[in-house]
């Protein structure tokens, strides 16, 4: 099954709630007027796009409709799909040009960080890159063992210390191993305590200082993992982490289990942080690089998965 088919299947719940409501609403109107856009805005807000982004979409859509002289409400769906794709586009590709390059995975506990690391490792290996993992979430019970299971599944080595060890020391040893082995990409797990805890941010700062010292000039991606099923709470988490941790991209998990996939649009539009990967299933290959056009097409697709 290809990415588009996986994405179409994964977005079924969101498509059934959001896109079908939009399509039905457009078909119920005989003309394009203020009431149409007010109803569209309400549907978008109910679909976890967020109030700010819903208003932005409607304003931009009004402009497009006016510029193109569209008078048939049934033709607005295609314009909406194109507008959403444009909003989501930009910065999707990981920047991994140096050897080694480093990816820090951050996020609160329970969002799927460990699973994401395993799937991302498999994805990068499939693209021809060598990977080593650093088990730098040393505070949560069983976090190291869980990451070890995923390292085995993805067939990549993992550097670990004992539980309670200094996370920055784990990162140091992982970078040393990567340099000595000529590894392309280092992926480090980090602790997932709540984002408003100062000690977590201090720990991340310490880790980034180690990276800057041991791999100066390396490409560094700081990816925030968010659970799509939490809707607007995911947007709030992203806002907090962006302010505190300098994130370079978002990984949105569990899209297949929610009707709240519209939050993807709100995150990208409000925070201007690119969506790098989306999770659309449980299998190891179900974490996929984000494609804005494919997402918008799958969101408004007429067929079933």
Distance between CA 204 and CA 51 in Å, rounded? 32
Residues annotated within the binding site for GTP are 107-114, 189-193, 253-256
Closest CA to 287 of 126, 98, 160: 126
CB 169 within 8 A of CB 181: no
**Other beta carbons less than 10 A from residue 20's beta carbon:** 13
Listed in sequence order, the DSSP H helices in the chain are 3-10, 12-14, 20-28, 34-46, 51-68, 76-88, 113-126, 143-154, 167-181, 198-214, 232-245, 263-271, 292-299
Residues annotated within the binding site are 107-114, 189-193, 253-256
Angle separating helix axes 76-88 and 263-271, nearest 10 degrees: 50
CB 144 within 8 A of CB 160: yes
């Amino acid at each position: 099954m290809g990415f588009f088919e996986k994405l179409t299947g994964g977005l079924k719940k969101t498509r059934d709630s959001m896109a079908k409501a939009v399509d039905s609403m457009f078909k119920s109107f005989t003309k394009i007027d203020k009431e149409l856009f007010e109803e569209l805005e309400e549907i978008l807000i109910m679909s976890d796009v967020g109030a700010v982004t819903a208003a932005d979409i409607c304003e931009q859509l009004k402009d497009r409709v006016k510029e193109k002289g569209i008078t048939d409400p049934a033709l607005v769906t295609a314009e909406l799909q194109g507008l959403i794709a444009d909003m989501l586009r930009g910065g999707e590709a990981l920047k991994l040009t140096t050897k080694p390059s480093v990816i820090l995975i951050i996020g609160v506990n329970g969002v799927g960080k460990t699973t994401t690391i395993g799937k991302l490792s498999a994805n990068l290996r499939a693209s021809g890159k060598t990977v080593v993992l650093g088990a730098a979430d040393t505070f949560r019970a069983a976090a190291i063992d869980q990451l070890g299971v995923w390292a085995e599944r993805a067939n990549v080595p993992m550097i670990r210390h004992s539980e309670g060890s200094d996370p920055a020391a784990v990162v140091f040893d992982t970078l040393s191993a990567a340099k000595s082995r000529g590894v392309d990409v280092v992926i480090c797990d980090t602790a997932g305590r709540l984002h408003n805890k100062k000690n977590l941010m201090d720990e991340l700062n310490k880790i980034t200082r180690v990276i800057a010292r041991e791999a100066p000039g390396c490409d560094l991606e700081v990816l925030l993992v968010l659970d799509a099923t939490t809707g607007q709470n995911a947007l709030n988490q992203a806002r907090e982490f962006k302010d505190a941790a300098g994130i370079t991209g978002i990984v949105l998990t569990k899209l297949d289990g929610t009707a709240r996939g519209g939050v993807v649009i709100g995150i990208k539009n409000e925070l201007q942080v690119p969506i790098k990967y989306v999770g659309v299933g449980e299998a190891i290959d179900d974490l996929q690089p984000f494609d804005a056009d494919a997402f918008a097409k799958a969101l408004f697709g007429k067929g079933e998965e």
